[in-house]
Amino acid sequence: MTTWITVCDTCKQDGWDPSAQPRTDGEVLAELIEAAAKGQDDVKTRRFSCLMGCKRACNVTIQSAGKFNYSLGEFEPTEDAASGIVDYAAKHAESETGQVPYREWPEAIKGHFVTRHVPLTEPE
């Protein structure tokens, strides 16, 4: 089943200066995640303008239907962070429930989890 990485493309870290950096930190992270996810069969990416986690920029969500979903934040827009996010999303895609054992978490995502969302249930 496909796992989606949604990247907030409007995230700006403290000290962001539009005159020195024309792209937001979120746009930079989105590009890096898109590049890292290229060729992944079960991981897709999308951008969204504002995930409402501004105090924890840069923010992403890891989501799939019928599974636990996660919000993560406080990333630096680096290749290492992007690679860790994509690696975690691939493990999320492989998991039946969306839960990934801590021992399998990439180092780059440890300490970045903000919330876990229980799967939605079907209407009765």
Cα dihedral across residues 47, 50, 52, 56: positive or negative: positive
Q: Is residue 76 part of a domain?
A: yes
Q: Which structure tokens are listed for 26?
A: 């979120």
Q: Is residue 17 part of a domain?
A: yes
Q: Is residue 124 part of a domain?
A: no
| Among 6, 4, 43, 7, residue whose Cα is nearest residue 24 | 7
Q: Is residue 75 part of a domain?
A: yes
Count of alpha carbons within 13 angstroms of residue 90, beta-carbon side: 15
What is residue 101's predicted lDDT score, i.e. its pLDDT? 97
CATH number of the CATH domain containing 69: 3.40.30.10
Query: Mind listing the pLDDT tens digit for each residue in 30-61?
Result: 999 999 999 999 999 999 999 999 889 999 99
Q: Is residue 111 part of a domain?
A: yes
What is residue 103's predicted lDDT score, i.e. its pLDDT? 97
CA distances from 80 to 23, 33, 52, 97, 124 (A): 19, 10, 24, 26, 43
Q: Is residue 123 part of a domain?
A: no
Q: Which structure tokens are listed for 47?
A: 């951008």
Edge-to-edge, what's the strand order for the sheet holding 3-8? 43-48, 3-8, 60-63, 69-72, 113-117
Provide the residue range defining the domain that includes 43.
3-117
Q: Is residue 122 part of a domain?
A: no
Low-confidence ranges of the chain (pLDDT < 70): 123-124
Q: How many domains does the chain have?
A: 1
pLDDT-above-70 percentage for the chain: 98
Q: Is residue 109 part of a domain?
A: yes
Question: What pTM was estimated for this model as a whole?
Answer: 0.94
